[in-house]
Amino acid sequence: MRHVLRGRAFVGGRIREACVVHVDDGRITRVDIDVAEAGSPEDLILPGFVDLHVHGGAGADFMDGDPDCAIAVAEFHARHGTTSLAATTVSASREATTRALVAIDAARRRDVAGCAEIAGIHLEGPYLAQARCGAHASDQLRPPDAGELDEWLASAAPPGWRMTIAPEIEGALALIELFRGRVAFSAGHTAASFGEMLEAHERGVTHATHLLNAMTPFQQREPGLLGALAVTEGMTAEVIADGVHLHPVVLQVCSRLLGERLALVTDANRAAGAPDGLYELGDRTIRVESGIARTADGALAGSTLTMDRALRNMVELAGLHIDRVVPMATELPARILGVADRKGRIEEGHDADLVIMSPRLEVRRVIARGREVV
C-alpha cells in the first residue's frame, strides 16, 4: 500500500519543517525535507512508538494464554501510536507462563493489519526479590531455574527476549552468565545495593526496569541502582511517565541524569482503555480508580498508560522539549529491543511505522508496517 505523508517530521534527531514521507509496500522509500509543496505544517509525523514493557489493554492480557487476547492488546496499543512492542508476562507458574508464551508466539505469527508488531517478549519475573515484589504474587516468586528458562525460550521465537530479574538473589548471576547473549537482562523488583548492581552490570545486566519503582532507593550513603546507572555508560533504563509512578520533577531529573539512555514504557495492564473497576493481574486482583491501578495492600499495579500519553506527559508535565522526548519512545527502545535496523526512525528502508499527531500531540493517524490502523 502506498502513502504520501506531508507535514513536519522527526528526521535526523529533530523536527524538520515541510517534509514529505513516501511509503510503499510496508517500507519508507523516500524522505524529502524542506519541500515547498509539503502541505499543512500542523501534522507532526513521528516514528511509530516502541513499548518495551506492556502487559495488556482493552480488557485483555498477554497472560490470558489466548492468541486472540494477545492480538487485542496489540491492536489497542496500535491505536495509540505503538507500532512495536515487547509482550510482557508477570510472575506465574511454569505452566501458565509457557501457555502464555505459546499464545504470544501464535499471535506474533499472524499477519494482522493495523496491529502493533510483537517484536519481542519480556519476562518480568518470576526471579524477583520478595521485599520488592510490588504487584507480583509473592507466592509465585522463586529462585532462578535454568531448566525453566530454557523451556520458555523453546516455546516461542520472537526477534528478541528480555527478562527482568533481581540480580542479588541466589543463583541470579549464574543464570545471567549462562543465558547472556540469548536473553537481555534487566534489573527490577530488586533490593540490590550499589555494589551488587555494578557486579550485575559486569555479568550482563544492561537495563533497569521501571526506574525508581520496586527497587533500592537512591540515598546519600547507598546510591543503589540509580547510582549504578549514573556511573556506568552501558546501562539504559525505562520510566513510566504517567505522573503517578514518578513525580514530574523526578522524570526531569532522570532525563538530565541519563540523557539518551532513558526510554519510555507504559507497563500497561488490561485496564488500559477500559473503565475503572476490578481486574486480574496474574494471580492477583487489582482495583483501578481514576485510572490508577493498585493491589489490595496499596501497591501500584502497572498502569493504564498509553505511549501517546507518556510522550505528552514528558513534554507537558516534565517540561522537556519534544526533540528530546521522541527518541525515548522510538529510537532508543528500538535499539534496546534489537530492532533498530528497521524500527524507530523515519529513514529510507525502515518499516513504515508512523504516527501522525496534532500540535497538541494527539494521535490523528497511525500506520503500522505500511497499513492503516483503525
Residues involved in catalysis: 267
Residue 121 DSSP class: E
Give the integer Cα–Cα distance in Å for 180 and 184: 7
Sign, CA torsion 65/71/72/77:
positive
Q: What angle do CA 126, 87, 172 make, to 5 degrees?
A: 30
Give the integer Cα–Cα distance in Å for 145 and 276: 37
Cis upstream peptide for 126 (omega within 30°): yes
**Please, are residues 159 and 120 in contact by the beta-carbon 8 Å criterion?**
yes
Task: Classify 268 as helix, strand or coil.
Answer: strand
Residue that is written with C-alpha cell 521501571 in the block: 210
The candidate with the shortest Cα–Cα distance to 235, out of 175, 268, 188, is: 188
Give the integer Cα–Cα distance in Å for 203 and 142: 21
Q: In what order do the strands lie in the sheet with 277-281?
A: 277-281, 284-289, 292-294
**Please, are residues 268 and 55 in contact by the beta-carbon 8 Å criterion?**
yes
Beta strand 3-11 pairing with 44-47 = parallel
Give the integer Cα–Cα distance in Å for 3 and 248: 37
Give the integer Cα–Cα distance in Å for 173 and 341: 30
The candidate with the shortest Cα–Cα distance to 75, out of 115, 23, 134, is: 115
Hey, how many other C-beta atoms are within 10 angstroms of the C-beta on 94?
15
